[in-house]
Amino acid sequence: MKKKWILALDQGTTSSRAILFDTSGIARANVAEEFTQYFPQPGWVEHDPWDIWNTTKNCMQEVLKQAGIKPEEIAAIGITNQRETALVWDRRTGKPVYNAIVWQCRRTADACVRLREEGWNEILRRKTGLMADAYFTATKVAWILDNVPGARRRAEQGYLMMGTVDSWLMYNLTGGKVHATDFTNASRTQLFNIHTQEWDPTLLKLFRIPDTMLPKAQPSGSFFGMTDPEILGCEVPIHGVAGDQQAALFGQACFKAGNVKNTYGTGCFLLMNTGARAVQSRNGLLTTLAATVEGTPVQYALEGSVFTGGASIQWLRDQLGLISSASQSEELALSVPDTGGVYLVPAFTGLGTPWWDMFARGTLFGMTRGTSRAHLVRAALESIAFQSRDVLDVMIKDAGYPVTSLKVDGGASANAFLMQFQADIIQRPVERPAEVQTTALGAAYLAALSAGLFKDQNDIVENWTLERTFQPQMTREESQNRYEGWQHAVRQAIAYTKKD
Ligand code: ADP
């Protein structure tokens, strides 16, 4: 039987998904399942590890059924996942000792403030490319060891294993045989030295995590292990693993230094490939490992995020009732020539790169008696593009590479008004691919390369199909004027918050 399918598992924050791709990167079937979010205390977020595994398993089995494909026809599995989320389980039983602590969870914020006060931030940045923040895995694992009765003792006796979601999925996919992770997921734990690609003894000591708990870290495109035949009906090799944003960078074929992609979801994630150079940002961007295939040189990326992207469109729909669907925002925005001088600074949860203000809050500027619903909707969409330019500008400044275009994906990249405005505001072409499920596609490509289905990355570059290019149409002067208006509005929003 010809093995020609690649099964991509995309384990996200709110849902799990399985997609079957052929070797030209075309999806044959796609199944997703949502699962429960737990908020045990304000600011805390957890997932049930068994929900993570069971929804993934269901999607995997269902996608084969829907496509009418036998497991024997799958050449390789690729995994991509929500990053940083921490799990701890017992190697004797395979049972988690606590729920998965999700990347969004702020329970270790105080511990991170202490790390900063003790001067660890600089060391963490140098070794891991990250800052001391509750997002990352290490303090979450330490919390489990410190707060689950008996956990630290069991860990010190060598009975416990830790991992991010990819490790947990692989452990279950292989019937407990494989305890591994890839470099991109490891690079988000705050325990991994991104320059040597090894777990760092100083950091393990700092976070008091025994090294016996750690998974084996290996390149994103490499052989991780065989699935247990019980799960799909036969053994299938796992050949690719990467954290979601790095998988998307790979799926967008951003293989050269200076290639950038922006994912427009709830928030926006911009990643720039910086090649063999681990660029240290002066503006609060993270330095992280990009996904690479075994035997090829390690690559790094700069990463910045916009906290409130598509979420402001949800806000217009759900809180204000100004629109009935996210896609309706496009026709409303296009019904007016501009916002009439209105700016929305959607700092609902503070401002990220490069402003870094946790206390800033959402602010509307410049309204007149003539301001309409269409102006407000347009201002919300424009704010997504302005914030993305904020991040892109500091990336270009920090890395020094010329950026000739921006590749886009994610739910809100469907909005043609937003994409056109983005091109106008960055004064560069915006390129939207035919396949916008680039996260799953990236995992599939990593698996395909490692399994030998592709010769090299050129096959991926050839597969990457442009759906539409948005060329800048606004004059440079007009674009700059509007962007300066935005920057002025952000400064005012920050000043307003600081007053009380
Ligand atoms: P996530 O992976 O973060 O859940 P998705 O990639 O599924 O996000 O994108 C969903 C987000 O995109 C939502 O915040 C939604 O408001 C926004 N969105 C979806 N379609 C559109 C559209 N046509 N115009 C503007 N925003 C949109």
Mean pLDDT of 150-173: 97
Place of tokens 């991109």: 184
Share of the chain above pLDDT 90, in %: 83
pLDDT value at residue 192: 98
pLDDT value at residue 307: 85
Domains defined for the chain, CATH in brackets: 5-245 (3.30.420.40)
> Which ranges of 182-265 does DSSP label H, i.e. alpha helix?
183-186, 201-206, 229-232, 244-251
Cα 264 to averaged position of ligand 1 atoms, centre (Å): 7
Q: List the one residue out of 250, 273, 270 whose CA is nearest residue 393.
A: 270
**Segment 380-425, tens digit of pLDDT:** 999 999 999 999 999 999 999 989 999 999 989 999 999 999 999 9
Whose Cα sits closest to atom 9 in ligand 1? 411
Residue 158 has pLDDT above 90, yes or no: yes
**Segment 100-131, tens digit of pLDDT:** 999 988 899 889 889 999 999 999 999 999 98
Cα 266 to averaged position of ligand 1 atoms, centre (Å): 6
Share of the chain above pLDDT 70, in %: 99
Ligand 1 pocket: which of 30, 313, 320, 330 to mutate (most atoms within 8 A of CB): 313
Cα 181 to averaged position of ligand 1 atoms, centre (Å): 29
Q: Taking the CA atoms of 442, 446, 452 and 455 in sequence, report the sign of the dihedral they define.
A: positive
- The burial of 317, by beta-carbon neighbours within 10 Å (0-12 exposed, 13-18 middle, 19 or more buried), is given as middle
pLDDT value at residue 104: 85
Atom of ligand 1 nearest to the CA of 314: 16
The model's pTM: 0.92
For residue 69, how far is the Cα from the chain centroid? Answer: 30
pLDDT level of residue 1 (50, 70, 90 thresholds): low
**Segment 196-244, tens digit of pLDDT:** 999 999 999 999 999 999 999 999 999 999 999 999 999 999 999 999 9
The residues near 104 (Cβ < 8 Å, ≥ 6 apart) are 13, 45, 135
Atom of ligand 1 nearest to the CA of 329: 24
**Segment 461-471, tens digit of pLDDT:** 988 889 999 99
**Segment 337-350, tens digit of pLDDT:** 999 999 999 998 88
Q: Taking the CA atoms of 237, 239, 244 and 247 in sequence, report the sign of the dihedral they define.
A: negative
Pocket lined around ligand 1, Cβ cut-off 6 Å: 265-266, 310-311, 313-314, 326-327, 329-330, 410-412, 414-415
DSSP for 152-194, written as a single string: HHHHHTT-EEEE-HHHHHHHHHTTT---EEEHHHHTTTTSEET
- The burial of 273, by beta-carbon neighbours within 10 Å (0-12 exposed, 13-18 middle, 19 or more buried), is given as buried
Residue 296 has pLDDT above 80, yes or no: yes
Cα 239 to averaged position of ligand 1 atoms, centre (Å): 30
3-state secondary structure of 130: coil
User: What mean pLDDT is reported for the chain?
Assistant: 94
Over the range 60-88, which residues count as b (16 or more CB within 10 Å of their CB) and which as e?
A: bbebbeebebebebbbbbbbbbbbbbbbb
Q: How far apart are CA 139 and CA 21, in angstroms?
A: 37
Residue 3 has pLDDT above 90, yes or no: no
Six-digit token string for 385: 């593009």
**Segment 46-91, tens digit of pLDDT:** 999 999 999 999 999 999 999 999 999 999 999 999 999 999 999 9
Q: How far apart are CA 393 and CA 76, in angstroms?
A: 39
